[in-house]
Amino acid sequence: MKAIQSNQEFDQILAENDAVLVYFSTEICSVCQVLKPKVIEMVSESFPKMKMVFVESNRLPELAAQNRVFAAPTVVVFFAGRETIRKSRAFGVDELRSEIQRPYSILFEAP
């Protein structure tokens, strides 16, 4: 999972990729540290064409605010540059997987 360093880099990734999962977290979020590897594993196994990026909200507060992220962890999924899914605080990996499945399959597996 690539760590985003600037707003420009974030915008460029959204522009260049059809499917992007953004994991917003903070240094002090213990739940975030436990959940992050599970999300990485789930995306790697189930959605190989999806780009994953990480935003440390306390290092890039303007990017977090620009994306209306005020809690950690927050996962925002973009398809074709548009926010499609948002999960904050308490959510399960299976729940996230099932919500990603339909738009992902339409985008990448449709004939």
Structural domain containing residue 63: 2-108
Give tens-digit pLDDT for 34-76.
999 999 999 999 999 999 999 999 999 999 999 999 999 999 9
Q: What is the pLDDT of residues 65-108, one digit of tens each?
A: 999 999 999 999 999 999 999 999 889 999 999 999 999 999 99
State how far the Cα of 50 lies from the Cα of 94, in Å rounded to an integer.
Answer: 17
CATH code: domain of residue 10: 3.40.30.10
Other Cβ atoms less than 10 A from the Cβ of 62: the count is 9
When divided into structural domains, the chain yields a total of 1
Whether pTM exceeds 0.75: yes
Nearest to 56 by CA among 110, 111, 2, 3: 3
Instruction: Supply the pLDDT for residue 111.
Output: 62
> What is the rounded distance in angstroms from the CA atom of residue 54 to the CA atom of residue 56?
7
pLDDT for res 57? 94
